[in-house]
């Protein structure tokens, strides 16, 4: 949940009846001088006997507007799940979180729980689940009497296992220095104050008793506790054991792999495992998630469409979600694109583009056979997409199936293919003829290859501005402009594979916008459905589309799958586009870009860091064994799995590409969450020593 939407502290206890309401009133009163503070008790039980909101209003000297009505009011003074059952009600945490997120920004909330942190709320959730979902730190209220050390330490441990920040502990009862010292030492926490039993209990007596409290860590604007703490040691997972018996995972050496992470739930930027860990999803779940996990708007769009119908053959049927999505995509896409062909993932979106381009020329009576792609390219795992990708360990086992392509230099500025530095570069890697101090094979420049294959080039296929799996290579925009100009000069098609870069990932809606160019064919997937369902889209110009229009049915584009334009996927994609617009997501990506640049650039001073690259919502750190020679182990460098394991231990899910670490979070990550993520990368990389 965004810090701008809901800020404050959650007052919980080691048990029921420990004094949470009086402590909440004290916090409201103490913090009111710094900001507008409001009080909320999401679940109130025993409404005939207790009125905690009225107690807080009186003791905290609040005006009525500062007290927010309880989200759920239940008659019986028992555990929320029992009180709700007796009342025939169901307590839904989604409803309470929605209430919280609807509050205006700029206010600071003191939220009081019901019972202790582990009291059941319904048949599925505990109070600690609500605390975690609200995303605010906890103030733990504990008795100062016998047994408090054990109960307090257990509560702190439970909160930390859910990666809830701890703002501090308040001890209620007769002061006990030994208990306070033990809780601070063994709980690694600050006791921010002690509250004796007050007789009489009035606003004045409460004020006097709390004057010495240390509240700096609670005040609005102060640095809040960083969310995930290091993950606890995982317990044996039955889900992981069952997986090991029956599942074959992608891009995974099954003999030597660690146990897979048993994910049971996702919310916002976090994933939760069945062994109690919370992991910040630093890779957007393989680059697909932009709005966070289990987003209520996307959930609703999926459910609403499923209630209508789930799928229909798309060869001779159509439906509203597919037509509406095509209209929206074309309105957003670079100019000139006018038709949408649906498929079911990124690799097939590229495969469609390559087949479409080849048949475009054939339908016009031209025989063209050569595709020009770039070094370090990765376009997918179907045969055509593999052929267009770099010759690598990914494609080597399938070499007999692949067709030849011509490969041009990529603008990999850190490892410049023509031996230049960026300050002396005029994008010579794209242009014909030798240039620069290092020997240059002219036939590897894009222009030279286009000249050699003039009249035979089907298309130039690129990943604009950011080459992903090939090493997270960020381009100068001038190279992209040259690609378009050269395609025009040599009368060939330009295909932009924006499976990774589309929908804001590089700071623009589409990466082609960085150089204000329009491709002839555009490939989309991944963030298209925000990670919910597989869907691919290949966009083409009128000129390409019209080449397939003929009374001769042999000129039909014969390509299709069982699930193109799946209505469920299209409905979610439409809702995702609404969210991109309504949340000003591109503005948020600009903020992520600034924070990544500020946080990662200082790593360049380390002996193990060769390069730092940032574009939009992606931050990249390339590690080297030798800074002088830029030697590195590449994708199979065993540093990748070791780093991944260390990040997971810290509560962060990253999947380095060998020696290349990258951060690519969902756009909804908060500044604090991103700062914590950057800090983990800094700490881990700083501990590395040159090999």
Give a yes or no: residue 302 inside a domain: no
- How much is the pLDDT for 432? 67
Q: Which residues lie closer than 8 Å to 569 by C-beta, 6 or more apart? A: 529, 532, 533, 534, 535, 563
Q: How many CA atoms lie within 13 A of 657 on its CB side?
A: 20
Give a yes or no: residue 296 inside a domain: no
Domain shared by 273 and 207, yes or no: no
Domain shared by 276 and 396, yes or no: no
pLDDT-derived band of residue 229, with 50, 70 and 90 as boundaries? very low
Catalytic residue among 68, 526, 532, 611: 526
- How much is the pLDDT for 49? 57
Separation CA 166–CA 551 (nearest Å)? 71
Mean pLDDT of 516-540: 98
Which residues pair with residue 521 across a beta bridge?
A: 495, 540
Highest mean pLDDT among 161-165, 232-236, 427-431: 427-431
Domain shared by 422 and 548, yes or no: yes
Catalytic residue among 178, 251, 552, 587: 251
- How much is the pLDDT for 105? 61
Per-residue pLDDT reduced to its tens digit, 667-691: 999 999 999 999 999 999 999 987 6
Domain shared by 449 and 398, yes or no: yes
DSSP state letters, 122-178: SSS-BHHHHHHHHT--EEEEEESSTTHHHHHHHHHHHHHHTT--EEEEEEESS--HH
Separation CA 424–CA 625 (nearest Å)? 26
The pair of structure tokens assigned to 384 is: 């055509």
User: In the predicted model, is pLDDT for residue 660 greater than 70?
Assistant: yes
Domain shared by 198 and 244, yes or no: no
Q: Is 251 a catalytic residue?
A: yes
Separation CA 470–CA 457 (nearest Å)? 24
Q: What is the CATH number of the domain that holds 428?
A: 3.40.640.10
Give a yes or no: residue 319 inside a domain: no
Q: Which residues lie closer than 8 Å to 543 by C-beta, 6 or more apart? A: 520
Q: Which residues lie closer than 8 Å to 40 by C-beta, 6 or more apart? A: 67, 68, 70, 71, 100, 109, 110, 111, 112
List strands edge to edge, sheet with 270-273. 263-267, 270-273, 278-281, 652-653
Q: What is the pTM of this model?
A: 0.70
Least confident of 212-216, 334-338, 471-475, 564-568: 212-216
- How much is the pLDDT for 218? 64
DSSP state letters, 238-267: HHHHHHHHH---TT--TTTPPPPP-EEEEE
Q: Is 20 a catalytic residue?
A: no
- How much is the pLDDT for 162? 80
Separation CA 399–CA 386 (nearest Å)? 9
Query: How far out from the chain centre does Cα 681 lie?
Result: 16
Q: How far, in Å, are 202, 217, 592, 672, 676 from residue 221 at the CA level?
A: 29, 9, 20, 12, 17
Domain shared by 545 and 410, yes or no: yes
Catalytic residue among 39, 270, 342, 378: 378
Domain shared by 527 and 454, yes or no: yes
How would you classify residue 164: left for phi > 0, otherwise alpha for psi between -120 and 50, otherwise beta?
Answer: beta
- The mean pLDDT value of the chain amounts to 88
Instruction: Name the one residue in this structure whose structure tokens are 């009011």.
Output: 73
Q: Of 536, 565, 594, which one is at a domain's C-terminal end?
A: 565
Least confident of 258-272, 437-451, 605-619: 437-451
Separation CA 427–CA 442 (nearest Å)? 13
Separation CA 407–CA 470 (nearest Å)? 14
Q: What is the CATH number of the domain that holds 14?
A: 3.40.50.300
Catalytic residue among 129, 275, 344, 497: 497
Instruction: Name the one residue in this structure whose structure tokens are 């910040």.
Output: 280
Domain shared by 131 and 192, yes or no: yes
Is residue 358 within 8 Å of 392, Cβ to Cβ?
Answer: no
Is residue 343 within 8 Å of 540, Cβ to Cβ?
Answer: no
Least confident of 437-451, 551-565, 594-608, 639-653: 437-451
Q: Is 378 a catalytic residue?
A: yes
Domain shared by 592 and 525, yes or no: no
Highest mean pLDDT among 1-10, 18-27, 138-147, 523-532: 523-532
Q: Of 530, 565, 600, which one is at a domain's C-terminal end?
A: 565
pLDDT-derived band of residue 394, with 50, 70 and 90 as boundaries? confident
Give a yes or no: residue 418 inside a domain: yes
- How much is the pLDDT for 237? 62
Is residue 430 within 8 Å of 411, Cβ to Cβ?
Answer: yes
Q: For 5, list phi and psi in degrees, rounded to 5.
A: -85, -35
Domain shared by 286 and 143, yes or no: no
Separation CA 343–CA 322 (nearest Å)? 12
Mean pLDDT of 464-475: 96
Per cent of the chain over pLDDT 90 is 58
Type and span of the H or E element at 87: helix 80-87
Q: What is the CATH number of the domain that holds 615?
A: 3.90.1150.10
Separation CA 38–CA 377 (nearest Å)? 54
- How much is the pLDDT for 257? 85
Q: Of 166, 186, 218, which one is at a domain's C-terminal end?
A: 218
Give a yes or no: residue 580 inside a domain: no
Q: How many domains does the chain have?
A: 3
Give a yes or no: residue 126 inside a domain: yes
Domain shared by 472 and 364, yes or no: yes
Is residue 496 within 8 Å of 337, Cβ to Cβ?
Answer: no
Instruction: Name the one residue in this structure whose structure tokens are 């010292």.
Output: 181
Is residue 408 within 8 Å of 444, Cβ to Cβ?
Answer: yes
Give a yes or no: residue 260 inside a domain: yes
Q: Which residues lie closer than 8 Å to 110 by C-beta, 6 or more apart? A: 8, 9, 11, 24, 27, 28, 31, 37, 38, 39, 40
Domain shared by 94 and 126, yes or no: yes
Give a yes or no: residue 610 inside a domain: yes
Type and span of the H or E element at 29: helix 20-31
Domain of 444, in residue numbers: 335-565
- Sign of CA pseudo-dihedral 148, 151, 155, 158: positive
Q: How many CA atoms lie within 13 A of 173 on its CB side?
A: 15
End-to-end CA distance of the chain: 41
Separation CA 250–CA 263 (nearest Å)? 17
Is the bond into 301 cis (omega within 30 degrees of 0)? Answer: no
Per-residue pLDDT reduced to its tens digit, 194-228: 888 888 888 888 888 887 787 765 654 444 444 44
Q: Which of 76, 89, 74, 15 is nearest to 44 (CA)?
A: 74
Mean pLDDT of 511-526: 98
């Amino acid at each position: 949940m965004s810090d701008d939407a809901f800020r404050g502290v959650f007052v919980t206890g080691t048990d029921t009846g420990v004094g949470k309401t009086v402590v909440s009133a004290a916090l409201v009163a103490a913090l009111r001088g710094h900001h507008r503070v409001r009080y909320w008790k999401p679940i109130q039980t025993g409404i005939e006997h207790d009125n905690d909101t009225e107690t807080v209003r009186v003791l905290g000297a609040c005006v009525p507007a500062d007290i927010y009505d309880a989200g759920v009011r239940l008659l019986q003074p028992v555990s929320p799940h029992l009180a709700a059952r007796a009342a025939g009600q169901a307590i839904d945490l989604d409803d309470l979180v929605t209430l919280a997120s609807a509050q205006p920004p700029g206010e600071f909330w003191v939220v009081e729980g019901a019972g202790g942190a582990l009291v059941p709320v319904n048949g599925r959730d505990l109070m600690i689940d609500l605390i975690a979902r609200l995303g605010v730190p906890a103030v733990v209220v504990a008795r100062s009497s016998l047994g408090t050390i054990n109960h307090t330490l257990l509560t702190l441990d439970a909160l930390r296992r859910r990666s809830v920040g701890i703002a501090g502990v308040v001890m209620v009862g007769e002061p006990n220095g030994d208990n306070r010292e033990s809780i601070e030492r063994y709980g690694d926490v600050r006791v921010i104050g002690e509250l004796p039993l007050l007789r009489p209990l009035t606003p004045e007596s409460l004020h006097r008793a709390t004057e010495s409290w240390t509240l700096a860590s609670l005040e609005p604007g102060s640095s809040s506790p960083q969310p995930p703490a290091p993950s606890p040691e995982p317990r044996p997972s039955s889900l992981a054991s069952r997986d090991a018996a029956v599942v074959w995972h992608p891009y995974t050496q099954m003999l030597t792999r660690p146990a897979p992470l048993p994910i049971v739930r996702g919310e916002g930027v976090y994933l939760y495992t069945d062994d109690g860990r919370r992991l910040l999803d630093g890779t957007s779940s393989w680059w697909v998630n932009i709005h966070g996990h289990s987003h209520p708007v996307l959930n609703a769009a999926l459910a609403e469409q499923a209630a209508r119908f789930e799928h229909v053959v798309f060869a001779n049927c159509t439906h509203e979600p597919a037509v509406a999505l095509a209209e929206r995509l074309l309105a957003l896409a670079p100019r000139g694109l006018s038709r949408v062909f649906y498929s079911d993932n990124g690799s097939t979106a590229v495969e469609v583009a390559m087949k479409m381009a080849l048949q475009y020329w054939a339908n016009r009576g031209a025989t063209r056979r050569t595709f020009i792609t770039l070094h370090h390219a990765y376009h997918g795992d179907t045969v055509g997409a593999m052929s267009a990708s770099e010759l690598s360990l990914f494609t080597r086992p399938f070499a007999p199936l692949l067709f030849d392509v011509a490969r041009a230099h990529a603008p990999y500025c850190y490892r410049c293919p023509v031996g230049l530095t960026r300050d002396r570069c005029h994008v010579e890697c794209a242009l014909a003829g030798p240039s620069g101090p290092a020997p240059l094979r002219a036939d590897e420049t894009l222009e030279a290859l286009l000249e050699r294959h003039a009249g035979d080039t089907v298309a130039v296929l690129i990943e604009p501005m950011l080459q992903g799996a090939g090493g997270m290579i960020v381009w100068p925009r001038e190279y992209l402009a040259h690609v378009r100009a050269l395609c025009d000069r040599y009368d060939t098609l330009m295909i932009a594979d924006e499976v990774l870069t589309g929908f804001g990932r590089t700071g623009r809606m589409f990466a082609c916008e960085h150089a204000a160019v329009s491709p002839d064919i555009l490939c989309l997937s991944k963030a298209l459905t925000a990670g919910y369902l597989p869907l691919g889209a290949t966009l083409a110009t009128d000129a390409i589309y019209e080449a397939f229009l003929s009374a001769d049915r042999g000129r039909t584009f014969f390509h299709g799958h069982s699930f193109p334009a799946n209505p469920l996927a299209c409905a979610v994609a439409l809702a995702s586009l609404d969210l991109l617009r309504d949340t000003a997501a591109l503005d948020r990506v600009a903020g992520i870009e600034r924070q990544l640049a500020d946080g990662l650039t200082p790593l360049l001073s380390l002996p193990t860091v060769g390069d730092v690259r940032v574009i939009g919502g992606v931050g990249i750190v390339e590690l080297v064994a030798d800074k002088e020679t830029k030697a590195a182990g590449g994708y199979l460098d065993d540093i990748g799995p070791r780093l991944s394991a260390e990040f997971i231990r810290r509560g962060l899910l990253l999947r380095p590409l060998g020696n290349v670490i990258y951060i690519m979070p969902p756009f909804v990550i908060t500044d604090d969450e991103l700062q914590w993520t950057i800090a983990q990368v800094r700490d881990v990389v700083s501990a590395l020593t040159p090999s």
